[in-house]
Amino acid sequence: MEIKSLIVFIGVCFFLTLEFLFPKEKIYFKNKISRISKNIFFWLVNIGITPIIILPISIFATQIELHSLFKFDNSIMSFLFHLMVIDLFLYWWHRFNHQIPFLWKFHHVHHLDETLDISSGVRFHFGEVILSALIRSIIIITFNISLINLLLIEAIILLSSIFHHSNISMPKKIENILSKIIVTPSIHWVHHHKRQSETDANYSTIFSWWDKIFRTKSNFERKIGMPIGVEGDTEQSLKNLILRPLKK
């Protein structure tokens, strides 16, 4: 757990520095403070429920062994396999969050953010986080994913989310190369486009190839100042965001 926290801390500091020094879009200070306060609130709540809900679910799942399949003597091979399995799961979980109305009620909160930066990468309703942990436990049990691998992969997932939501300006050539392998801001910002057709695309979390394989890659290119959010809806107060899943 300490290793995961250290990796996340270093990664957050690194991306925060890049975003401060090399922003791609201008975000007005007043609006930024309002947004960040709501986004950080959800992150702190999720941090708070991790040791009492999320971590116990994960630990319990890693201790169940129903079969001896998907085990590797090579620790690197084991880690890479588990990384691929969880990332594939995240692709489909993310896609279902958009396609299943009940799940969308929770994920909707994430998409109501009307611009993006590092804080957007941790803005997830705690209901969505708990549901994700419960469903993910099935994957953990099925593929015999160890706790150490799971914690390291969770750190990578969090840093990936922070990176591809970030407002970092990157040289186009470098981002084009990276985007062939991993999800970059240019890919994920399109997913947050206010136009529904773009929102329902680009579901990948770490590796960008899942959208190509399952034909959900958007051909739209990110543009400066493009509308971000949910089509036909607007950002809400913190209270309304918390209660959003309870509304019809």
Using CA atoms, how far residue 17 sits from 36, 38, 121, 243, in Å, is 16, 21, 16, 33
pLDDT in tens, 129-188: 999 999 999 999 999 999 999 999 999 999 999 999 999 999 999 999 999 999 999 999
Query: DSSP string covering 21-43, please?
Result: HSBSS---HHHHHHHHHHHHHHH
In the predicted model, what is the mean pLDDT of the chain? 94
pLDDT value, residue 32: 72
Q: Residue 150: exposed, middle, or buried by beta-carbon count in 10 A (0-12, 13-18, 19+)?
A: buried
pLDDT in tens, 217-246: 999 999 999 999 999 999 999 999 999 998
Question: Structure tokens of 32?
Answer: 């930024």
Can you name the residues that pair with 193 across neighbouring β-strands? 228
pLDDT in tens, 6-24: 888 999 999 999 999 999 9
**Is 228 strand, coil or helix?**
strand
pLDDT value, residue 34: 80
Per-residue burial over 223-247, b if 16 or more Cβ lie within 10 Å, else e, is eeebebbbeeeebeeeeebbebbee
% of the chain exceeding 70 in pLDDT: 98
